[in-house]
Structure 1
Amino acid sequence: MNILNKTILVTGACGYKGTVLVAKLLKAGYKVIAFDIQWFGNHLKPHDNLTVVKGDVRFPATIPFEGTDAIIHLASIANDPCGDLDPKLTWEVSALATMQLADHAVRNGIKHFIYASSGSVYGVKEEENVTEELTLEPLSEYNKTKMVSERVLLSYSDKMVVQIVRPATVCGLSPRMRLDVAVNMLTMQAIKNGKITVFGGEQSRPNIHIDDITDLYMFFLERPNVTGIFNAGFENITIAEIAEILACKTNAEIITTPSNDPRSYRVNSDKLLATGFKPKKSVEIAIGEVIDAYEKGILVDKEEYYNLNWMQKAIL
């Protein structure tokens, strides 16, 4: 089918990744149904091929499945602290809704389902390189719902194309910005305070630029023959290394304090790279883009860019 005739349903379309992804889908010529509860607002620009539906994924009867060719499922209660705020809500939104979404997709003849899981499903691993073959040992409600959702979706893999992505921590600019993820948060600290507080610093963490993760969803959308589960984290870098990049770019002072979180792991994405996907942007580029946007007044430090605080204040 020609791209111009394809309709993509994106859940969580008004979120950090969704806002960037929807713009790319529209630019590529797809028709997009953007489904989102809009807790953090709607930063999508109007477009002739865009239909925005404000709704809750827990109620599949409100989701417009008819005419949809593929689903990119991004909606969830994002990150560990937010997931722990209301475990019941987290399980309903991030696990039960995924099961219902998959069931309705099959009933409506939708043949392609892309799911945004998380690299955090592995839990704490001793292995230096975390590959897809390792066992899942999720620790938080957020991680557990992702693991359960993966297993549910894989049970439908005989009825539709299922592609599961386990992203590393995402960084970089989005119209619906997040300033509570490591790189973005440290960058804002450096810009506003002239100081960066680093807890420990030697812990290694995998990262991925927001343009690369959204390009990856596009990549899979165009390659239904590539199925299964894929890690997506192309830059394993320590918090201290991120701080050093920031210090060079902003002259911010680095303040190092002991950490009670010694976890250090490096995600291996060789399986994904073997498909032909190539990342284009680095953590350093993300930092530069955030600094530039702030200096130009494009990026402003807002309450709603911090998910936990915003949910506590305005939602729950």
Structure 2
Amino acid sequence: MEKKTLLVTGNLGYIGSTLVPILTDAGYDVIGYDIGYYDDCYLVPAPQKLVKQIKKDIREVTEEDLKGVDCILHLAGLSNDPLGDLSPDLTEEINFKATIRLAECAKKAGVGRFIYTSSQSIYGISSSSKEVDEEGEKNPITAYAKTKWQSECELRKMCSDDFVIVYLRPATAYGASPNLRIDIVFNQFVAFAFTNKLIQIMSDGTPWRPMTHIRDITAAFIACVEAPSELIKNEAFNVGTANNNFTVSQLAKAAQGCVPGTELIFTGEHTDPRSYRVSSDKILTVLKDYYKPEWDITKGAEELIRFYELVGFDKETFTGYKCTRLKCLKKRIADGMVDDDLRINKC
């Protein structure tokens, strides 16, 4: 079979830095496309065997950048609710308008497949009594979630037999990565246990969160690269496992159990309106021959502890900028590397 060329946007980020080595080890030629906000945030070296690295703002992508690409895996963007709240207008510009520009350029360049990273946050607040499937009501609350749903809706109009688009909706990610994030709930809870032996929850612990290990998310991307078009064309898939819905309390207790002597406190001072349980049955059935998740939170917590030990993760790292995306971007702006529109300043 002819070797495929894949372009991964956001290849230097939390998921991308885990995904790309798996793709290249599987025999794919990979082009990276990343603006470089988080270049110096790696906790361990993680060189990527790329055909080439494009260092460029996703808002400036051109058709020429995409020539010869068979499939795009689009991860780039402002990656969570706090970043989205930094500037709702910029979030729309980067997460929505740039996504559509990328897809338009891809279609003109003859790219055959486009895998879009959406989010389960598009479901917003839903009844906790049942798990939401892909057809469930969409109720995006944050600027980030709204741009994800907006992008899905617009991309659906562009999908064709020659330009197959699929929408992956991962649950909240967790797990070790060379470019680690601790601004996501489970990684943060394990980090609190590891560094402080104290996990303090500001809510009452009752909100539900679907969770997916970062390597199961990468497995979903590979499944969508390899699956036949008729299985994925204009389809959305919640990415997770059969048992991946947890209350915040359950996640905190799982993290507490990893480090003996860790204290767990619920203050209940802040309510969290986001609560939803999500079904991953569709991906587990439709793509059963291609998607085989292997992780759970116990295994993931053990992996995180080993990783924190490996990198000497400490309180300074925890409170620093490298593992928290909003802190990092604010530092880039303060240092003059990035302007107020989040564009790299040309020196």
Q: CA deviation at 1:262?
A: 5.2
Is residue 2:220 matched to residue 1:216?
yes
Q: SS at the partner of 1:64?
A: helix
Supply the AA of the counterpart residue of 1:230.
F
Instruction: Tell me the distance in 2 between the aligned counterparts of 1:257 and 1:192.
Output: 20
Q: SS at the partner of 1:10?
A: strand
Q: SS at the partner of 2:236?
A: strand
TM-score, normalisation: structure 2: 0.86
Q: What is the aligned length?
A: 313
Instruction: Tell me the distance in 1 between the aligned counterparts of 2:272 and 2:126.
Output: 13
Q: Select the residue among 140, 143, 154 that pairs with 2:142.
A: 140
Is residue 2:265 matched to residue 1:255?
yes
Instruction: Tell me the distance in 1 between the aligned counterparts of 2:137 and 2:284.
Output: 21
Equivalent residue, structure 1, for 2:32: 34
Equivalent residue, structure 2, for 1:314: 332
Q: Gaps spanning 5+ residues in structure 1: where?
A: none
Paired residues of 1:83 and 1:90 also in contact (CA < 8 A): yes
Q: Select the residue among 204, 210, 220 that pairs with 1:206.
A: 210
Equivalent residue, structure 1, for 2:132: 130
Q: SS at the partner of 1:78?
A: coil
Matches within 5 A, 1:260-271: 260-261=271-272, 263-271=274-282
1:129-164 deviation digits (Å, cap 9, x = unpaired): 111111212111111111111112111112411110
Paired residues of 2:126 and 2:277 also in contact (CA < 8 A): no
Supply the AA of the counterpart residue of 2:276.
Y
Which segment drifts farther, 293-302 or 5-14?
293-302
TM-score, normalisation: structure 1: 0.94
Q: Gaps spanning 5+ residues in structure 2: where?
A: 334-339, 341-347
Equivalent residue, structure 2, for 1:81: 82
Greater strand fraction, Structure 1 or Structure 2? 1
Equivalent residue, structure 2, for 1:239: 248
Supply the AA of the counterpart residue of 1:248.
G
Aligned residues: CA RMSD:
1.7
Paired residues of 1:35 and 1:63 also in contact (CA < 8 A): no
Instruction: Tell me the distance in 2 between the aligned counterparts of 1:40 and 1:269.
Output: 31
Instruction: Tell me the distance in 2 between the aligned counterparts of 1:256 and 1:120.
Output: 24
Paired residues of 1:57 and 1:63 also in contact (CA < 8 A): no
Matches within 5 A, 1:150-229: 150-158=152-160, 159-198=162-201, 199-225=203-229, 226-227=231-232, 228-229=235-236
Supply the AA of the counterpart residue of 1:197.
Q
Which segment drifts farther, 275-284 or 207-216?
275-284
1:178-205 deviation digits (Å, cap 9, x = unpaired): 0100000011111111100122112221
Paired residues of 2:168 and 2:236 also in contact (CA < 8 A): yes
The percent identity for this pair of structures is 37
Paired residues of 2:124 and 2:276 also in contact (CA < 8 A): no
Equivalent residue, structure 2, for 1:281: 295
